Structure 1
Amino acid sequence: MPGDWLVRRAARGDSAVRLRLGRQRLVYLLGPAANAAVFGHDERFRAREAFAALEIVDGPTSVVLSDGADHARRRGLIRPAVAPRRIDGYLETMAQAADEALAEVLPGEPFDAYVLLRRAIRRSTLRVLFGGELARRADEVGEMLQPLLDLTDKLPQVLDAHRRLRTPAWRRAMTARAAVDELVNEQVRRERDRGPDEGVGEGPMLPLLVHGRDGAGSGLDDQEVRDQAVTMIAAGYETTSAAIGWIVYLLGTFPDWQVRAREEVTTVLAGGAPGPGDLDRLAVLRAIVTEALRLYPPAMISVRYAVEGFEHDGEQIRPGDLVVFSPYATHRDAQVYSGPLRFDPGRWLQQPRRAPEEYLPFGGGKHRCLGSGLAMAELTVMLSRLLAHGEYRLDRGPRAARGFAAMRPHPGVRITIPPQ
């Protein structure tokens, strides 16, 4: 796995590794100092060229692909929709989606928890964004998106070849994009017609994205709303579902931590679903989620496109270089974490926070993932509802980590909840 190669290079003391892939110059910068150099100097980089492969899904105005003033404006307009107070209002929706999925499970019958909870997260994401109407078509939307997600899960050079050759996979992806656009744009038009008086307030995110305004009176146009909504759908369930798969696997592998987590759910929540204020009281669950994201960050690597030259630890970075940093390699660095390959949520109970350059499952700097708080809440809620259904055993863990855009457990995580 590429991430393990980077871990080995970092262990050898390498802080920069230069490669060439076709015409593209890649520079891997390793370690916390490198991460800090990237996060602290946004002016040196652009995101658009770095994440160009995501444009076929997210769209040209997605905050992920935005830079400079456009990025700051879009980010500011999205932030209220993922503020802590708003997230509190989404907790019931998340728990309901989890319970609906778990209701399909028969006690004593094995099932793939990754697949089941991925479907639950997809439903939850659509309900949080659009409310109940579109959420009822969650599985249909997932099927629409899959050809696009399959394509963006490939290396950029492979994706470019599909585009140039107009392969069947590319044509399927373009058909899928047209279908997704029609569906999402219809929701945006309806919300526009309803107007801000009815739209902005508690409830789903879409009204806030459509009608929200910043201090200068600027708002998102229809293309921008579409792109932010699809970005949230794709990233929200693709990366979050990958993370919940690893969490379930780790707790099945380390049952003592599963017991501690279940005891906390029983004590703090009395078997119910988390509500506003409860997440802060679930210290063990939060530590488990945090540790799982350390060992298996959804993005094994992240990228920036250098627009100006600079030097890092003796390595000269040139304009046009693709600068790669690795959460996976940093999180498994023995110079940063004691026993880095050991699953130990207790480290987060002793030291709940680490420097941004040392713990970066959601990236960092001005492009740090806006949905990190939402993802942490979703993972905690989904885990709490699974544990409330009873102790489970791991029947089959993943054989490998797969995925370029999101590191997911392959082929899945098969578990059994014994009859009570």
Structure 2
Amino acid sequence: MDAVRYRPGELLLAAHRRRGPVLRFGPYTYLLGPEANRFVLGNSDLFRWREAFQSLVPVDGPTSLIVSDGEDHARRRRLVQPALHHRRIDQYLSIMVEHADATLATWRPGQVVDVYRQFRSVIRRGTIHALFGRRLAGDEAFFGEQLQVLLDLVDRLPASVTWARRLRTPGWRRAMAARGRVDERVHAEIDRVRSGVLDEDDHVLATLVRGRDDDGAGLSDEEVRDQVVSLIAAGYETTSAAMAWAVHLMLCTPGSWERARAEVVEVVGDRAPVKEDLRRLTYLNGVVHEALRLCPPAVVVPRWAVEDFTFDGRRIRAGTTVLYSPYVTHRLPEVWPEPLRFRPERWDPARADHRKPGPHEFLPFGGGPHRCVGSVLATTELTVMLARLVVRTSLRSAPGRPRPTSLAAMRPRDGLPALVSAPRPAGHPAR
């Protein structure tokens, strides 16, 4: 099938073909293509993140990783990263399965389900549970409701967020009220852990609260709050969109669902997968990577130029907002053969035509020192959720095509309705 097409990304792609890797539109300069990515990601000293992502501060907070620079970023990242180490993530697999299965058990033949919205809730609940324990996971609906108000605010052009703040519009006031409710709940958990009252599943929260750098310094309560909220929000906002696109692409590609199911049945059956299983799910891993290639979470990614520099013979001035585009790079025929085709097998290292892309050619999670700290958690969660989905049920596409929206976290605007055709009871893998 032809890939999902998103008009803003397609306009950038067409402009890149006509005018080359440097495009200027109003106050923005786009550096497009793999060499532009290599330049931006390899020269992080030329750019700042705080100014580029200032519009996200209402959600993530002023000390979150995405708006941190320099030593502040390095220090905070050192304290956050242990919570998302491979070994820690391996321990989360059973939690992911638990929450996926609980939702799949409610589906019935003939029912039309919104795969995007249902798995958005599943992924949010599973992410909170895995990272912060059952106490906070029990408030998944609360976090979903309150954070959505904040996400709606920042899902606009940065200038709109700035004016909303300056004018204290009704939308801004609603968002700040929602943020206050979220902060109150998160700070209650921080206070509990600091007082020494720990649950056995307080893994990440305890790491953030009690972690110390080499010089003995830890994170302040504000810093812990910002990392908790940004891990929750980013953990489900982008991952749930990628899940929806993966399901859509499989349903629209003849034989893809059946091939994924056959692989999962052969490798895992109906039991909960373990990390060794995930490495053997070659085709399903390809599904995840193809979905992230064709529908990367961010269509464009901003940077703010600290000083003047030259790229491709063009001078870019300090103070310019520079954007690179995973969407454009992931659809270039000189990088990706048949770039608009959904071909999970292209990721199989056993194939003669396999080519591992460079970090400047495949960048759904960014790159360089600011590469998304939750990338391994996201790809693991996607693989586990898809494995449970294909082995537990069969779906058929509902009429119509999903319409993408949002440059920051491309998602299906009106959800992803699908018809449940054959749910499978626990203990009875597909044949």
Instruction: Kindly report which structure 2 residues correspond to 1:81-230, keeping only aligned pairs within 5 A, or say none.
Output: 81-194=83-196, 204-230=203-229
Of 216-225 and 359-368, the range deviating more from structure 2: 216-225
CA distance in 2, matches of 1:277, 1:355: 25
Deviation at 1:228, TM superposition (A): 0.5
Q: Does structure 2 retain, via aligned residues, the 8 Å contact 1:45–1:307?
A: yes
CA distance in 1, matches of 2:216, 2:337: 49
Deviations, residues 279-309 of structure 1 (Å, cap 9, x unaligned):
1111111110000100000111101000011
Of 152-161 and 51-60, the range deviating more from structure 2: 152-161
Look up the SS of the partner of 2:322 in the other structure: strand
Identity %: 49
CA distance in 2, matches of 1:398, 1:49: 36
- Cα 1:354–1:203, aligned 2, differ >3 Å: closer, same or farther? farther
Q: Which runs of 5+ in 2 are unaligned?
A: 1-6, 424-431
Query: Quick check: 1:4 aligned with 2:10?
Result: yes
CA distance in 1, matches of 2:174, 2:105: 34
- Give the corresponding residue for 1:400: 403
Instruction: Kindly report which structure 2 residues correspond to 1:292-303, keeping only aligned pairs within 5 A, or say none.
Output: 292-303=291-302
- Give the corresponding residue for 2:57: 55
Look up the SS of the partner of 2:302 in the other structure: strand
Q: Does structure 1 retain, via aligned residues, the 8 Å contact 2:246–2:288?
A: yes
Q: Does structure 2 retain, via aligned residues, the 8 Å contact 1:397–1:412?
A: no
- Cα 1:373–1:397, aligned 2, differ >3 Å: closer, same or farther? farther
Deviation at 1:373, TM superposition (A): 0.2
Instruction: Kindly report which structure 2 residues correspond to 1:9-408, keeping only aligned pairs within 5 A, or say none.
Output: 9-20=15-26, 25-194=27-196, 204-349=203-348, 350=351, 351=354, 353-396=356-399, 398-408=401-411
Q: Does structure 2 retain, via aligned residues, the 8 Å contact 1:362–1:369?
A: yes
CA distance in 2, matches of 1:54, 1:360: 21
- Give the corresponding residue for 2:416: 413
Q: Does structure 1 retain, via aligned residues, the 8 Å contact 2:273–2:384?
A: yes
- Cα 1:352–1:119, aligned 2, differ >3 Å: closer, same or farther? farther
TM-score between the two structures when normalised by the length of structure 1: 0.95
Deviations, residues 376-403 of structure 1 (Å, cap 9, x unaligned):
0111111111111122211145431111
CA distance in 1, matches of 2:172, 2:194: 32
TM-score between the two structures when normalised by the length of structure 2: 0.93
**TM-align CA RMSD:** 1.5
CA distance in 1, matches of 2:17, 2:105: 46
Look up the SS of the partner of 1:92 in the other structure: helix
CA distance in 2, matches of 1:277, 1:209: 28
1:5 maps to a residue whose letter is L
Q: Which runs of 5+ in 1 are unaligned?
A: none
Deviations, residues 221-264 of structure 1 (Å, cap 9, x unaligned):
11111000100111111011111010111111014111111011
Deviations, residues 150-172 of structure 1 (Å, cap 9, x unaligned):
01111111112211221111110
1:248 maps to a residue whose letter is V
Give aligned pairs, total. 413
